[in-house]
Amino acid sequence: MNNNWGIAIHGGAENKTKKEISEAQQAAYEQGLENALIAGWRVLNDGGSAVDAVEAAVRSMENNRLFNAGKGASLATDQSIEFDAAIMDGKTMKAGAIGGVKHIKNPITLAKTIMQKSKHVMLCATGAEDFAREYELEMKSDQYFWTEEKEKELEEAKKEKDVAGGHDTVGAVALDRNGNLAAATSTGGLVNQLPGRVGDSPIIGSGTYANNEVCAVSCTGDGEGIMRANTAHEVYAHMKYKGLSLKEASQAAMTLYKDRIEGDRNFVAMDKDGNIEFSFETNLMFRACKKGDEPSYVAVWKDEEVAWENEA
Ligand code: ASP
């Protein structure tokens, strides 16, 4: 029995200023985080697995239009919406992932089904959709995901001839009562990305990684940078091979090869002893955690007054 069980989640990291997010919007984000946190925490509290807990937390955010995953996923150049997601079980080191998949209501559940029911780790595009239908996972029409606001966001990004990043990808890490770690990440990618572009989130070791021996990590930020820096696996490697603490390893993974690999790297990480780290270089990270019966911690801004002793 492990008494250090708990869960930590993120709903993305951005460089917005306080003027760009109204009090009402912030309150809505905080509520969304709390709902997701409790969805995952309940699974652990009832004796469920870390895998089921991270799936529950991520599903909750995928069903919330505020976050860039599932229902809230952003638009590519041609207005299509494609999902990337991954889940990893730290006990078995099995993983499931999807890249560039449309129409699936809960991408993280498709990733988990691939992990548990197929011989493969990653399925992409229409093959993944067919697999989802075979397992009767809920599919939605384009209309379910589309909003006028998303279209405006896409137009803005097109005017600036850029992709808009840092947009509320979601993720979770958890340690269950049996000492098992898991990580999950789900995203709609970047606004104005090319159709078919896949980011770091579903790449095991880049955006998502879990290994019971050491830690679990879920990233958000500039996918092109994170996948070249193998950020999630670097947190693991610095702990495993250099003997660093979770905090030190997180700092090292965040800054490694910064001279050659651009873009922001942000992540939530948890080690086998239940320590939690929120590492981010943006102004804000939508984040929350709850350890055992301790009260929930929910925060948005970097300088938030609510102190979290393990924050990098
Ligand atoms: N990392 C995600 C991607 O590149 C985006 C994000 O985290 O906002 O697809």
Asked whether 171 lines ligand 1 (CB < 6 A), one says no
Strand-strand pairing, 297-301 and 94-101: unpaired
Percent of the chain exceeding pLDDT 70 equals 96
Q: How confident is the model at residue 312 (pLDDT cuts 50, 70, 90)?
A: low
Burial of 23 (0-12, 13-18, 19+ CB in 10 A): exposed
- Amino acid at residue number 116: Q
Listed residue (273, 293, 215) closest to 44, CA to CA: 293
Asked whether 187 lines ligand 1 (CB < 6 A), one says yes
Which atom of ligand 1 lies nearest, measured to the CA of 166? 8
Q: Residue 100: CB partners within 8 Å, gap ≥ 6?
A: 82, 83, 84, 124, 125, 195, 196, 197, 198
pLDDT of residue 307: 58
Asked whether 221 lines ligand 1 (CB < 6 A), one says yes
Strand-strand pairing, 94-101 and 122-124: parallel
- Asked if residues 4 and 291 have their Cβ atoms less than 8 Å apart, the reply is yes
Asked whether 199 lines ligand 1 (CB < 6 A), one says yes
Distance CA 79, CA 265 (A): 26
Which atom of ligand 1 lies nearest, measured to the CA of 197? 9
Listed residue (11, 123, 129) closest to 80, CA to CA: 129
Percent of the chain exceeding pLDDT 90 equals 92
Asked whether 208 lines ligand 1 (CB < 6 A), one says no
Q: Residue 249 to residues 128, 215, 228, 271: CA-CA distances in angstroms?
A: 34, 11, 17, 11
Element (H, E) at 235: helix 231-242
pLDDT tens for 140-197 read 999 999 999 999 999 999 988 777 664 689 999 999 999 999 999 999 999 999 999 9
Helical residues (DSSP H) of 5-137, grouped into ranges: 23-45, 50-62, 107-117, 125-134
Residue with tokens 């990653």: 122
Which atom of ligand 1 lies nearest, measured to the CA of 220? 7
User: In this structure, what DSSP letter does residue 296 have?
Assistant: P
pLDDT of residue 161: 74
pLDDT tens for 43-83 read 999 999 999 999 999 999 999 999 999 999 999 999 999 99
- Residue 6 CA to ligand 1 centre (angstroms): 25
Of 234 and 3, the structure prediction assigns the larger pLDDT to 234
Q: Look up residue 29 and give its two tokens.
A: 């984000």
Task: Catalogue the E-assigned strands of the chain.
Answer: 6-14, 83-89, 94-101, 122-124, 170-175, 181-187, 208-211, 215-221, 265-271, 276-279, 284-291, 297-301
| Fold of the CATH domain 6-311 | Glutamine Phosphoribosylpyrophosphate, subunit 1, domain 1 (3.60.20)
The residues annotated with a catalytic role in the active site are: 169
Residue 11 pLDDT > 80, yes or no? yes
Distance CA 41, CA 50 (A): 9
pTM of the complete model: 0.97
- Residue 219 CA to ligand 1 centre (angstroms): 8
- Residue 61 CA to ligand 1 centre (angstroms): 15
Distance CA 198, CA 216 (A): 22
- Site to substitute for ligand 1 among 101, 186, 200, most atoms within 8 A of C-beta: 200
Q: Look up residue 16 and give its two tokens.
A: 């917005």
pLDDT of residue 306: 54
Of 193 and 307, the structure prediction assigns the larger pLDDT to 193
pLDDT of residue 168: 85
Which atom of ligand 1 lies nearest, measured to the CA of 188? 9
- Site to substitute for ligand 1 among 201, 206, 226, 279, most atoms within 8 A of C-beta: 201
Query: What residue segments make up the domains of the chain, in order of their start?
Result: 6-311
